[in-house]
Every structure is written in structure tokens, then in C-alpha cells.
Amino acid sequence: MMSFPVPRMIKKFGYLSISPLLVLAGGLYFGILPQLSPDSNSYMNFSGARTAGYPIFLKFFELLGGLSAVVIAQYGIAAIAGIYLSQAIKSFSGSRLIAAAAAALAIGNPVCLKFHNQILTESLFYSLLLIILGSLVAIFSHQKRSSIWVFSLAIGASLFVRPTAFAYLPLMVILLGLGWDGLKGRRRAFIATAIFFPVLFLFGDHASFRIVHGDQPRGSLAPLHLFAKASMIDSNTQNPFARDNPRWALWQEMEDGYAPTRQFVQQAPSLTSRAFMSPFFEVFAQYQFARAEINLSAQQAGTTPHEIMVDVARKRLAANPSGYLGNAALNYYALWTIFKGSYPTQVEELKTYFAETPVPESKGKKTVFPLADQPSKISIIARPVLWGFWFLTTVICIIGLYLLWRRQLTPLWRVQILLSLMIHGNFALIALTGVGIPRYTMTMWPAMAVIAVLSLIPVWKFLSEVRRR
């Protein structure tokens, strides 16, 4: 009588089940109810300031079953992307255990599992990153052109979903510079394949906008970000506009009206407290600070609010470029330092500071900080872990440059360098153009997880050799 070889099948293919099982567990624990945020409406209504990918995705699955169908689809896509990553790492490392560990660490983070309930770009961006990671690993595993197509498709789709995916584009150039063996005699074919989908999706984004919005000018969040960053720094110069220029009054409001806020941040008791407060004040400046002055100045100048915001912001940023870079550095540090509002010592420090120094107001409006009532125990572990990833990825970049100079790069080192540069590049772009908030940090968690697990491959191979002896 034949028996079905269940144990053998589990041993052979069990690593592929890790992602679906973890995603299923997340869906059962968090449910399929959608979580809306202030930004959700701009995606659901395809705001002109948004790329087309996520609004199209929302509209398609809403027609199938409402926002709950969107949540189910986001969980499902994450599971499929996780399977692809697991298979790629199995082929690269030769170890099912390494593949299972990578999937468990990349998929099983509870913070990331929550993304799939949110009506935000985080879930799709996260799942596409899993595919990018898997394709990069596959490129150095079997050197087939199909992996380049998948890599190009995932990057193009990421651009369709979120503009920060532009930070991924240099990976194509770096692939050429790292001397990948599979490029011998095929550089032109690689370049053509790699740029095909990004270009296609960028055209698709433009066409989608025109179909929905017609000849309406494309919106942009850039004026809001520029204005906020210019408000967060001192100008260190006199007002460059004449008093009869409507821009003069807006410059003065940024200089004087937000001065107490800048001083409040600068006098914070620690760098981490500054990194906690600064992004919130920057977001406040994007959407609430000096709105009446902006509209009045634009009306008097005969231009749009966004145009006058950009005019004044550029002058201020040009007057103090070191201040702008300092703001970017603070946001970069904030991205690597999560749980700032719930870390035990940080909570006490911030509460004491807020009690002794009132939070500045602007025209009766005040920034609200989400301080935890009770410090988070998990933050005691999570913060040093993330700092450890910063150290690991930085060291990999430094050693990688040395090995590149010596022409001693192995496929493992090439993958590790690419993933490390991907993380730092993404965070640098966010810091320069946006704010350092935790959900941006955690969308890059899969790359950190894969780096951590791939770093164990030499240890795994050493232990395997010891066992053979």
C-alpha cells in the first residue's frame, strides 16, 4: 500500500509556505477591515499630486468588493511576493533553512503586516520591494535575462506606486559598475531591458493622469515640502524682496512666525528628541502654517499659492544650504531611530521638556505629539536592532568599496552591497525631500531582513563543512 510522502514534501517545499502562513496569520489577527488615514482620500480620489498606480489598484479592487477586497488583495500579493523571494534565496544560497529564515524575518514583522490593512501605498511598495530583492538575488544566482525583466518590472511598478522609487534607479548603474559576470557581451541588452518597464510605467502614469484629469495641470507635493523645509531653517540673511513685493510678507512670516518653533526644536534636550519633534513640525508647516499669508501673497502677486511658496522657499534654502542639509541629516537620523515617542527614557525626557517649555503655537494652532502613555518594552529591542542594521549596511558599503577596488567581489558581496546602497539611498532621498517618519522606515524592512540572513551564509557553509568532516 502506497503512502503519501508528506514529511519529504514538507522538507522539500516547506520553506515556500512560510510567507503564505505568516500572511494568513496576519490577516486572521488584524482582520480585513481597511484602515483609513488622512492621506487615504487623496489615493481613493486620485489626487493630481499622486502617481496613478495605487489609485488604479484601489479602483479595480473596490469594484470587486469594496475596500475589504483591497485589503485581501494586499495580503495576497505580499504572500506571492514572499514566495518568489524565498525561491530566489533558496537558489542563491542552496539552503532551504536560509530561505525560510529570510521569508520569516522579511514577512513576519507585525508592523509590516499591518501595512496590508492600510489604504496607503505602503503595502504595495513593500510587496514590490520583496520582488525587487528576489530578482536581484536571482540575477546573481543563475544570471538569466528573465531576472532582469522581473527586476525592471518591479522597479517600474514601484515608480507607478510611489515617487521615492526613483531611489532604486541607480541600482541599474551600480549593477554595471560591480562587474556582474552575466553582463559580458550583453551590456546594451541589459540596459535596454532594465529601463523598459520604468519608462513604460512613467508613460502610463502620465497617460492615466490625462485620462482622469484631462488638461488640468499636474499637482505636486513638492511646493509643500520645499516650503516646510524652508520654514524649518533660519535664513541667516536679510529679506531679499522689496517691501512692495507680496513675497516680502511671506518671507517675514516664515522668518519670524516659525522662529519659536525652530528654537523649540533646537533647544530640545537631545538629538533624538529633536528627531522626534522636527518631522511633526515640518508636516505642520506643509499643511497648516501661514496659510492665510500664502493665499494673500499669491493673490496680490497674481500667481498661485504653490508658485509663491516655491519662490520664497528657494530663496531661503539658497541662503542657508547648510541649514537644509542639517534638516536632511536630522530626518535621516529619524528614519533610523524609531519608537522615539515610546522609548522609556525618551518618553520621560520629552514629557519633562513639554512640561517645562510650552509647545509653540501658530495662529492658535498647535502641533500634537503622539507620546505613548506607557513606554513600549519592544522599543528597547527594536531601536538597537535598527541601529545595528545601520552599522551593518554602512560597514558592508565600506568593505565592498575596498573589495571592488581589489576586484575580489563575490556574488554574495555584490548582492549585499546593492541592498545596503538601496536602503541608504532610499532614506537619503526621503530625508532630502520629505520627513523621517516610521512608516517610511519600515517599508525598507525586507531589505534589512534579507541582508541580515544573507550575512549568515558564510556561517552556514562553515557549519556544513564541519558536519561533513
277 and 334 within one domain: yes
Q: Look up cell 522626534; give the residue.
A: 276
- In which region does residue 302 sit, left (phi positive, over 0), alpha (psi from -120 to 50) or beta (all else)? left
Q: How far is CA 56 from the centre of its chain?
A: 21
Q: Is residue 304 part of a domain?
A: yes
Residue 76 located in a structural domain: yes
* CB-based contact 425:129 (threshold 8 Å): no
Alpha-carbon distance of 245 to 227, in angstroms, equals 18
Tell me what pLDDT residue 285 has. 92
Q: Which of 332, 366, 400 is the last residue of a domain?
A: 366
Q: Other C-beta atoms within 10 Å of 290: how many?
A: 22
With residue 362 as reference, give the H or E element that holds it. Answer: strand 361-362
CB atoms within 10 A of CB 38: 7
Give the pLDDT score at 53: 92
Amino acid identity of residue 351, one-letter, is K
DSSP for residue 411: H
The reply to whether 60 and 206 lie within a common domain is yes
Which amino acid type is present at position 438?
A: P
Q: Which domain holds residue 12?
A: 1-213
Residue in this structure with the C-alpha cell 576586484, named with its chain if needed: 407
Let me know whether 173 and 268 are in one domain. no
What pLDDT was estimated at residue 48?
Answer: 83
Q: What share of residues in the chain are helix, strand, coil (percent, to 5)?
A: 75, 0, 25
- Asked if residue 237 and residue 175 are part of one domain, the reply reads no
Domain-embedded: residue 48: yes
CA distances from 400 to 31, 396, 417 (A): 43, 6, 6
Q: Which residues contact 337 (CB under 8 A, 6 or more apart)?
A: 272, 275, 383, 386, 387
Does the residue 251 lie in any domain?
yes
Residue given cell 517618519 in the structure block: 437
Where is the domain boundary, 366, 394, 412?
Answer: 366
- Give me the helix-helix angle, 259-266 and 271-287, nearest 10°: 160
Shared-domain flag, residues 208 and 288: no
Could you give phi then psi for residue 439, rounded to 5 degrees? Answer: -70, -25
Same domain, 24 and 124: yes
In this prediction, residue 179 carries a pLDDT of 57
Number of domains in the chain: 2
Q: Is residue 439 part of a domain?
A: no
Q: How many CB atoms lie within 10 A of CB 243?
A: 8
CB 359 within 8 A of CB 277: no
pLDDT at position 106: 94
Regarding whether 40 and 131 lie in a shared domain, the answer is yes
Asked if 176 and 276 sit in the same domain, the reply is no
Does residue 294 belong to any structural domain of this protein? yes
CA distance 248 to 245: 6
195 and 230 together in one domain:
no
Residue 275, CA atoms < 13 Å, CB-side half-sphere: 21
| Residue ending a domain, choose from 176, 194, 213 | 213
Find the DSSP H helices in 49-163. 53-93, 96-107, 110-113, 122-142, 145-161
CA distances from 462 to 91, 98, 344 (A): 18, 14, 40
pTM across the whole model: 0.89
Blockwise average pLDDT, block size 10, the chain, 469 residues: 50 78 93 91 88 93 91 96 94 88 93 93 95 91 80 94 89 70 66 87 92 85 93 91 92 92 93 92 91 92 92 94 95 92 85 87 72 77 91 93 83 90 93 90 94 85 67
Task: Please report, in angstroms and rounded to a whole number, the separation of the first and last CA atoms in the chain.
Answer: 39
Residue where the block lists cell 502506497: 2
Q: Are residues 209 and 239 in the same domain?
A: no
Dist. CA 51–CA 157, nearest whole Å: 11
The three cell numbers of residue 81 are 511576493
Residue 458 lies in a domain: no
Question: Residue 220: CA atoms inside 13 Å, Cβ hemisphere, count?
Answer: 14
3-state secondary structure of 222: helix
User: Is the same domain home to 205 and 235?
Assistant: no
Q: What is the pLDDT of residue 404?
A: 81
* Cα–Cα distances in angstroms (integers) from residue 22 to residues 13, 54, 314, in the given order: 16, 24, 47
204 shares a domain with 69 = yes
Q: Domain for residue 432, yes or no? A: no
Task: Name all contacts of 406-413 with Cβ < 8 Å and 24+ positions apart.
Answer: 407/179, 409/178, 409/179, 411/92, 411/140, 411/141, 412/454, 412/457, 412/458
